[in-house]
Structure 1
Amino acid sequence: MHKYLLRLLGFTLILGALPTFLVGIASYYIATQDIEEKVNEGNMQLLQQTQMRVEQTLRSLEMSSLQFVNSSLVKGVMNESLTGEDFVQVRELTTELTNLQSKAVVNQAYLINLDKDWAVSLTGLKQVGSMDAKDQFLAYAKKPESIFWNTNSTEDAAIDLVSEPTETISLIYKIPLVPKTTAPKGILVVQISTSEIRGGLTTNNKLGDNYVLDKTGAAFLSSAQDKETYSEINRMIMERVSNPSQKQGFFKAKIGDSKLGVTYRSSGYNGWTFVSVVSIAEITKGSKKIGLFTAGVCALILLLVLIFAFYGSRRMYSPIRSLLEFTRKMGASQERVGTDEWTYLQDSLQSLFVSRSRLEKQMQGQATHLKEFFILKLFTGQISESDFLYRSRMYGFPMEWKRLGVLTLQIDNLQETRYQEQDRDLLLFAINNIVGELLPLQVRFSPILLNESQVTLLAVDLEQPQELKAYFYHTAERIKSSIEQYLQLQVSIGISRPFDKLSYTVTAYGESLAALKSRISLGPDIIVHYEDIEQNGNSETAVYAHLKVVEDQLIQALKDMQMTKAVDIFHQYLSSVLHKDGYLHEHHILFMQLMSRILLIVQDQGVSVTKVLDGENAIERFLKLQTREEISIWFQSRLFAPIVRILTEKADTQFLNIADRLVRMIHDQYDQDLTLESCATALNFHPVYLSRVFKKEMGVPFSDYLSEYRMNMAKEMLETTNLKISEIGEKLQYKNISAFIRTFRKTFGMTPGNYRELLENK
């Protein structure tokens, strides 16, 4: 029962909690994004510093190597063939190669003369052809670059005869320094340990790993495990670096269940790419602390909101609780399971209001009903004049008048309005109320509803016939215009002759009804005095033979499925029936007769009449039609349209019934000069079209079917008549008896004479 209290509490909680949640989520998101941005900026700066430190080492080694290559000592020996006897020059060269150590930790250095086949290293003089790394040196010489770094440590490590190869990278200078040469005199190969480069990388990055990729994307400083782990990331980096606009940047990747942030920076010096890979989880550790702190603050705020919402909602609910307790004590409404407080209060107040309104209406309605009851008894002749005068004083009816008059109002037609037929009684009730409010009490008795009519008894102080007629007409016109204004309805009103005694009321009511019957000939939406139709009561009676001709035309139009023609002919029929006064009392009989003939159309087609008429309700409604428009609309919508639709559907399923009509023509006219052309003329179709339709429906050509049917009829004549064979042939339109005999024999395998002899023998 405390649903509203719970909703009030829930709404207060949502109102207080929603901003807290939104602020907490926004704070955590902003803090996380800010920390990630700061970490990414820091990593990029570290990469830049690392790049500068490593490139400084490489550049210094390149400069010292360039000075060595351009020295006079090197230039001099490159044209000589050194042997073991030239130990002085070898020692000088070895000393100069050793001096390269001052710039970087040189693992090994070689000055190689390819033309003279000698090589000087830190360990002495050797012949190039006897060295294990001869092929590698020759491969260096064939590369198009004059100065380049080789990071393929697995190939360079075995150049010297050492027990265990070390990871190295090599700087290669071609001698002389001629661009794009593949046949230099010699080369300078300086090998430095990868630990020299690895030492230049940032080592204090606690969030992840730093490594370097060469031009080919190989992580030459990384272990085999790291290479395998970061292989997908390295591929993604090289795809980005290949785009000139993405030489540096940051992106997120995922390895297994670990989310990583990758910062990369490509060097324009030697094409190496410096990479820093950090864990997103490590980055967001700080933001998680902020999130936990924010969650704690939000929880505290929610607790405070809950406390205030609980006490505030109970305080706001207290007036409703008092009102609920009061209504329960009053017992205004029965409490239902699942009903909330407001619904219960609404039902209680509505119940009290309905009870009060019902009592008021009962008090007011009793007098109204009694007034209408006595007026109804007056119109049905069940109360005397003296008794009614006594009741008139009690209910405030007019007591003094000079003349009385009855106005009977009927609704013309509802089919072309926004109302339905089932609204007729409700509309009459509304019309009765309009009349009661429009006419003052001193000039009328209580308006009543009687036999689908609204009836009003007027009391006036006029005596002159013309004045009375004008007053009654003016009153009827006011009623009619008010109904058209408020209800948008067309009504007709019949006015009785003036009278002075209440006992004449029943007769006057009959006169007003008789006046309304003239709507059949005059049309709807009229005001008619009984005196006007009484003067035109004697007119000649039309001859029914004319109606029979019009009926035949109407039936044929419906059979031909010509809706427009049928409607036009029916209008002629209505004019013939309704323009004569002699038919006013028998028009329903004529219409029922026409209806029966029309329904025979569908019965002849093997269709049930129930598909056209909706049982007895349609007939009852037809008998209540009062105007020409109502009758016309009823016939068009309830008879003509369904019948044309049924015939059309039947014709559509049989090629517009052409084949059936041709067959009927053959059966009816087989003994006449019948051809496909004559049938086409009669049916208003092209002969070729008729031939194609007949062949499709019947399976045989028209001429074959006609010949076969005539032979069957000839066979029947031979069996049932004593006509000569020549007479039968002539009757079947065979001008040549030989052609008839030949066709008969082709059809039945014997001549007509043989067939008759066979019948006589049997």
Structure 2
Amino acid sequence: MFRLMVISILVGTIPVLALGSFAYYFFSSKIQRQVDQHNVQLLTETELRLEQLFMTIDFYVTQLANSPLLQDAAVWDPSNRKLHLSFQDLSVQLSRLQSFEMGISDVFYVNYVNKWVIDNRGVTLLTERPDLELLTSYASGNRSSSWKNEGTNGGSSVLLIKKTPLTSLSPSGVIGIRIPHYELEKRIKPAGESDVQLIANDSFDVLAKTEGTLAIGERFSDAFAARVTEALEHTTSAVIRYDEQYFTVVKKSSYNGWYYFSFYSNAEITKDSRTIRWITLLACIGVLLLTLLAATLMNRRVYMPIRRLYEAAGGLSAVGAGKRPDEFQLIGTRIESLISEQDSMHDQIKGQALQLRELFLFKLLFGEVHPSEAEQKARFYQLDVRWTRLRVMAVQFSDWKQSKYAELEWERLMFALRNMMCDLFPEECRLEPIIIGQYQIMIIGADQEDEHDFRQSMIVFTDRLNQLVRMNLGLTTAIGISKSYEHLSNVHRAFREACESLKHRSITVDQPLIFFEDQFPGKNVNVKYPTSLEKQLFQAVNELDFSAAQASLRGITEWLLAENVNYRELQVHLVRILIGLVGDSPEEPLRGLMQGNKTVFEQLFELDAIDEIEAWFEERVLRPLVRWREEQSQLQYQIITEKMLKLVHERFDTDLTLEKCAEQLNFHPDYLRRVFRRGVGVNFSDYIAEYRLSISKELLKNTDMTITEIAQKMNYQNSQNFIRYFKKTVGITPGQFRERLNQS
């Protein structure tokens, strides 16, 4: 009872605690993610709002820098009174940029050529300005346009500096746009009252910030700047802990490299997490109390049958005085004892049943069972013989006397063979093997209506059996199989036929598998020759595919052997194939097939074994022929490729196509396509396009021909197509290409 209570409490407590812990951490993390997402969204809005302002100002300043008025102002002399109206027009253009909506406080233009400045105060000489050194520094740097921070808090501002002319390496002047920091702060909106949003430049100087409970100086520390740089190394936004109380969402601008920060306190998150923690804790306590109550009630009901079972097993009398009874252990011991006794009785009955079944199979094989009782007794001994066809298979070791095994190991070999046969053949398709003399006998059945399918399945299984015996025992087997019968009463005839097949094995050819119906000569006189396989063989040799030719030859030999031809008949058929292969070949490959003074036919008829014939045919005929044809094909490919290249080089300025080449050379276009691809490495159309491109480059470089004339010479319908292809391939237009050549 006590153990049941402990188990019930543990089963009820552990899932509840695990679920409560998971719920607490899951919802806490979810709140954190929601706050982060909200702050990222607000910070993104701030970034978009400010960068829209910056890019608008940049756009207007760029328009002004490209205007004719400002380009002419580069050479104005302020002492020239005739330019009074021009200076007035320039002042008007600068004042138009100074709009209230964009928060611009000052717009100025500095002329470094004639050393004068124009701003809200008018035109002054650069040497008379107190900020001469600052204005002069604006011309330094490699960038034509940049945003800078200027001044300190209280009077600080951000400054857009754009050099003029925009494309010049040495500027003649600069345009400056000044925006006070307080204008930027107007456009920043924090997420909460205690939150702080701010902007810092790429040097982590604070440009603008909102009021909040977090105190931040004019510049971030180097340690914090390094953490921000590392966090944004592979992303555009990140969440970083600022201190023990505050987190910050930071984004880096892709426009000017500034950083946008949103600092928020984790106090609210912690407050929500504590609420979830208490709710989860109370829920877990309630579930635990309910679990304890349910466990107490259920254990009382469950324990009563166990108690009665314990008493029935004699547990009370077996427990000594003063000892606490272990009901489950005692009940388990008694049940194991009963099962052990039952298994022992079952093994005895099973052994006797196996002996009776084996005795029945002996009588069945030797014809001692009446035909009318065979089916009935088979069902009595639980033999599944509901087959439409059956055969008897006899297996013996053909070379065990010459092997390493002694006669005393004969029984072990037969036992190993029996196990292999049982593992290989499905249980529903066989009966248990029986050792009779030198043979291992097995009755095999099938539900196949087609006799040919039954025979083929027997061939497959016996091949696997031979492979297993050879791999595990290092021996070879001979297998005799009877004719097919429909009734179990004919098993004794099938047994005699299987044994007779092994006794009359052919001594000319070493056949591991012998069917009784194949023992009589003359049964397969008219052998159907595999013409389709022969065509596949010839085609494979012509296509230089040795693997396919090898497979076709093996298919022909397997076909003929399946038709029960002997190795001499196989030689005759292979002579037919040999004549077909070398009959129309030149004298050179035929000399290579000679071995001394013997022709290929003489070599063939000296062979006796089927495997030797097949191996000789592959290595002495197929491989040399394929190699010679491949060498001839390579030579022909090279000649054709050179002719096609010559046509391209001579007629590139005409409407030359692959079809016209084929017509000129008297070959099929598909054949020329494969040959050219193999010889050159690219398609014909790609090569002629690249060649025309190289010729057009030479014409652009060495002649004064116009682009239209070059396009016509390259056989383009119009110059636009030529320009489009040239730019797509080279990256620049033909005109730009010629201009760069002239510059270099």
TM-score relative to the length of structure 1: 0.37
RCO comparison, higher one (Cα < 8 Å, 6+): 1
